[in-house]
Amino acid sequence: MSKTSAVLIAAGITTCIVLALTAYALQTKYDFTTHGGVLVGLLVALLVCGLIKVFLPHSKTLEIVYAGGGALLFSAYLVWDVQRLMYGKESQIGVDDYVLAAISIYLDILNIFLNVLRILQEVQNR
């Protein structure tokens, strides 16, 4: 698999993930906007794991697990941000904050893409 095909495959996987999670966030009755604190805690844990990973010898398995955890975390952030934008009960984005909401959703999608691409590159190099 060439680098170009890995990028295209990652873009396709990311598109499928984003469409599925956005549809889920819009139709579910469960309110994910109450879990903002949990998401921040998981983000800090991912950051600490990344700092620890710097001091460990390079392991493809560890890299795949780390990228998978990042993809899952930013997928949860995508659901949280979409619900905050549309109808959040606990925390809703105000009328003046739609630009910030769009940037947040863009960054969620970008991080999902980068983590999926990292997984594909590590699998390709095995």
For residue 3, what pLDDT is reported?
A: 75
DSSP state, residue 87 = T
Cβ contact 73:43 at 8 Å: yes
pLDDT at position 105: 94
Q: What span, in angstroms and rounded, lies between the C-alpha atoms of 44 and 115?
A: 17
Cβ neighbours for 13, distance < 8 A, ≥ 6 positions apart? 116
- What is the total count of domains within the chain? 1
Determine the pLDDT at residue 55.
92
Q: How far apart are the C-alpha atoms of 15 and 40, rounded to whole Å?
A: 24
Tell me the residue range of the domain where 9 lies. 3-124
Look at residue 16 in the predicted model and tell me its pLDDT.
97
Return averaged pLDDT per consecutive 10 residues of the chain, 126 residues in all: 85 97 92 89 95 90 94 96 79 77 94 96 86
What's the residue count for the chain? 126
